[in-house]
Amino acid sequence: MHDYPLLNIFWTMLEFFVFVLWIFLIFKVITDIFRSHDMGGWSKALWTIFVIVIPLLGVLAYLIVRGGSMGQRDLEQAQQADAAFKAYIKDAAGTPGGGSGSGHVDELARLADLKASGALSDEEYQKAKDKLLA
């Protein structure tokens, strides 16, 4: 049986956690460098070299100099992703020919209202729905 005290296990777990956190932080900084639209290509290259060659100093310097706007860039990216997702959903709900699709949705809603009010029978509703979706 190996002799590895409980405190050493906790210390090893802490070191592993800090290492994973450090790797995450480096990737976050490098991602933010390339996502930033207010920097030119040379600035991005110099920051990347600085972060890769001297990681501790580079990451700390980047967080001090540009860390305040990292959250803003994250928010902008999340808003763009949300807008793209909503546009995709609207497009997917549209007609197969690429139309807006709101005509079909409105027509289906009108048919459902007519069926609910008793103006259409189940057969008439199903035929009209199949014709609309075909």
* Residue 98 pLDDT grade (very low, low, confident, very high; cuts 50, 70, 90): very low
Could you tell me the pTM of the whole model?
0.57
Distances from the Cα of 100 to the Cα of 86, 103, 106, 126, angstroms? 13, 7, 11, 23
Which of 69, 97, 121 delimits the end of a domain? 69
Q: Are residues 52 and 113 in the same domain?
A: no
* Maximum C-alpha span of the chain: 83
Shared domain for 65 and 3, answered yes or no, is yes
| In a domain? residue 23 | yes
Q: Which domain holds residue 10?
A: 1-69
30 has a pLDDT exceeding 60: yes
User: Does residue 100 have a pLDDT over 70?
Assistant: no
